């Protein structure tokens, strides 16, 4: 039996496979089955500030709909206090109490005060860590990238100062210089980075001429952007790296660990193939380690990162791209 143990955010995991934040967490029995199939940790589905705000507005509208319907009365409803995020906190507390593997909370917020308030509340549920989802949808033409980054770094720093459990940051790749930004976040004590977030993108039905909603599952090969930046970051930051987005097979996991990842998050592949895919990925990883005579993850983690390669290697440079373009006929052969 190979030693698949790894450390993430200072937490020891039995293997490098984490179930990422998704709606599967709505069902405790599903989380228990994921644990039975060998998942090492679970990121509980995200707490969204926007959702709480919309629910509060909806309740206010429903409660005040018939106010002043009669001259003698101001309201027909008793004074009801909005529960806010209490249901989410209760459910994550139940998950933590019911499972023996680490549970990581996931938080999406907008305002600085809410980021800090919700992080404290999530910490009180007993979770093992918190994953902060940083994302900025550009809407102001006059706001500079530096201002956005500084605001987010300040929020993360304050959260770190206000809670006692490990903090990871899940990022999109859309920052001006993602390496520089991660280095700055690393400087305020972030325990881990998750590369990268998957966002739902808008689509249009051209016959009905309107926007439509659709589930955007990650596709084969989507993990390559994470592989690239993991290879560049390994041994250059203190925080751990967790790869995400398009991790589907044991082969994908092996590639990402070779580039420097401590672990991976899977979601789409579990939706597509079921919870048994977790065990399949683990077995593929173990079989490869057998063939290569590796006894533990640490023996090959980061082996193909930039710092471990020959200084003349072009793998992580633009020259690699130029080389591919110049020799494309050797890649595509007679199909051109």
Q: What is the pLDDT of residue 38?
A: 97
pLDDT value of residue 59: 36
What's the number of CA atoms in the CB half-sphere (13 Å) around residue 104? Answer: 30
> How wide is the angle at C-alpha 117 spanned by C-alphas 163 and 143, nearest 5°?
105
Rounded CA-CA distance 45/107 in Å is: 9
Q: Cα separations (Å) of 181 from 38, 80, 167, 187, 188?
A: 34, 44, 16, 10, 11
pLDDT of residue 62: 42
φ/ψ of 182, rounded to 5, equals: -65, -40
Q: Model-level pTM?
A: 0.84
Of the candidates 221, 102, 249, 108, which has an alpha carbon nearest to the alpha carbon of residue 169? 108
pLDDT of residue 328: 54
pLDDT of residue 54: 46
What does 269-280 look like in DSSP terms, one character per residue?
HHHHH-THHHHH
SS3 110: coil
Q: What per-residue confidence (pLDDT) applies to 81?
A: 46
Q: What is the pLDDT of residue 246?
A: 92
Largest separation between any pair of C-alpha atoms in the chain? 86
> What pLDDT score was predicted for residue 316?
77
Residue ranges of domains in the chain = 6-304, 308-336
Per-residue pLDDT at 326: 54
Return the structure tokens found at 134. Answer: 């940083």
Concatenating the DSSP letter of every residue in 245-288 gives SS--SHHHHHHHHHHT-SEEEE-HHHHHH-THHHHHHHHHHHHH
- Three-state DSSP state, 217: coil
Tokens of 158: 């304050």
**Residue 220 confidence (pLDDT):** 80
Which CATH architecture best describes the domain 6-304? Alpha-Beta Barrel (3.20)
Contacts within 8 Å (CB) and 24+ apart, 271-275 = 271/22, 271/24, 271/217, 272/217, 275/30, 275/33, 275/34, 275/37
**Look-up of token digits 């990422």:** 20
pLDDT tens digits, the chain, 336 residues: what are they? Answer: 689 999 999 999 999 999 999 999 889 999 999 999 999 999 999 998 755 544 443 434 443 444 444 445 445 445 444 446 899 999 999 999 999 999 999 999 989 999 999 999 999 999 999 999 997 666 678 888 899 999 999 999 999 999 999 999 999 988 889 999 999 999 999 999 999 987 667 788 889 888 887 667 777 888 999 999 999 999 999 999 999 999 999 999 999 999 999 999 999 999 999 999 999 999 999 999 999 999 999 999 999 999 998 766 667 776 455 555 556 555 555 544
């Amino acid at each position: 039996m190979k030693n698949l143990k790894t450390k993430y955010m200072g937490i020891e995991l039995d293997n490098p496979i984490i179930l990422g934040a998704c709606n599967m967490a709505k069902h405790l029995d599903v989380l228990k089955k994921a644990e039975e199939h060998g998942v090492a940790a679970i990121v509980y589905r995200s707490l969204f500030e926007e959702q709480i705000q919309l629910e509060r507005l909806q309740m206010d509208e429903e409660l005040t709909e018939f106010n002043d319907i009669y001259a003698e009365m101001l309201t027909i409803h008793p004074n009801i206090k909005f529960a806010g995020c209490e249901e989410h906190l209760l459910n994550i507390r139940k998950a933590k109490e019911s499972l023996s593997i680490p549970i990581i909370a996931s938080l999406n917020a907008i305002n600085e005060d809410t980021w800090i308030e919700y992080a404290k509340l999530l910490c009180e549920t007993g979770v093992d860590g918190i994953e902060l989802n940083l994302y900025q949808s550009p809407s102001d033409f006059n706001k500079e990238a530096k201002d956005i980054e500084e605001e987010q770094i300040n929020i993360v720093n304050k959260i770190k100062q206000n809670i006692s459990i490990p903090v990871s940051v899940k990022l999109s790749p859309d920052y001006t210089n993602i390496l520089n930004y991660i280095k700055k976040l690393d400087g305020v004590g972030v325990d881990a980075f998750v590369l990268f977030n998957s966002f739902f993108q808008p689509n249009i039905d051209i016959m009905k001429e309107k926007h439509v909603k659709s589930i955007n599952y990650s596709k084969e090969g989507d993990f390559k952007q994470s592989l690239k930046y993991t290879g560049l970051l390994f041994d250059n930051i203190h925080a751990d790296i967790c790869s995400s987005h398009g991790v589907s097979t044991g082969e994908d996991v092996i590639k990402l660990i070779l580039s420097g990842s401590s672990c991976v998050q899977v979601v789409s592949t579990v939706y597509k193939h079921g919870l048994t895919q977790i065990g399949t990925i683990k077995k593929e990883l173990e079989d490869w380690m057998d063939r290569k005579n590796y006894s533990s993850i640490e023996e090959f983690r980061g082996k193909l990162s930039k710092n471990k390669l020959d200084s003349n290697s072009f793998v992580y440079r633009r020259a690699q791209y130029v080389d591919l373009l110049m020799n494309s006929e050797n890649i595509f052969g007679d199909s051109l």
